[in-house]
């Protein structure tokens, strides 16, 4: 790997952890009962009607949400780094 290339594992891990953190915050907000109010505030700002309702909190769903967000973020970060490295070599 050249000095200026991205390490795909590090980029994947960084993006995976960031995605997991954001989704953990969402899950904690659902557990605290504040996210329906957040959606009711945010949707009209985007010119959207309020069509979604937050359902009851579940620890199993929260864990699956956080794990899948991490995996998806890792994969996207890894692919991004590999593509970025490839295009950088191609453009030289």
Long-range contact set of residues 27-36: C-beta below 8 Å, sequence gap at least 24: 27/57, 27/61, 27/62, 27/65, 27/66, 30/54, 30/57, 30/62, 31/57, 31/62
Mean pLDDT of 47-69: 96
* Banded pLDDT at 51 (limits 50, 70, 90): confident
16-20, 60-64, 67-71, 88-92: lowest mean pLDDT where? 88-92
The yes-or-no verdict on residue 90 having pLDDT over 90 is: no
Q: Is residue 53 part of a domain?
A: yes
The DSSP secondary structure of 53-70, one letter per residue, reads ------HHHHHHHHHHHH
Rounded Cα gap, residues 34 and 40, in angstroms: 10
Segment 11-35 shows an average pLDDT of 98
> Max Cα separation, the chain?
53
Residue 3: its pLDDT value, please? 73
Over range 31-56, report the average pLDDT. Answer: 95
Looking at the 3D structure of the chain, how many domains does it have?
1
Q: Is residue 92 part of a domain?
A: no
38 lies in which domain range? 8-86
């Amino acid at each position: 790997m050249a000095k200026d290339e991205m390490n795909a594992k590090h980029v994947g891990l960084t993006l995976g952890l960031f995605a997991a953190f954001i989704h953990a915050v969402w899950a904690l907000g659902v557990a605290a009962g504040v996210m329906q109010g957040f959606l009711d505030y945010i949707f009209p700002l985007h010119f959207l009607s309020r069509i979604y309702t937050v359902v009851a909190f579940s620890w199993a769903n929260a864990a699956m949400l956080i794990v899948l967000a991490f995996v998806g973020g890792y994969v996207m970060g890894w692919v991004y780094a590999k593509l970025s490295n490839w295009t950088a070599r191609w453009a030289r």
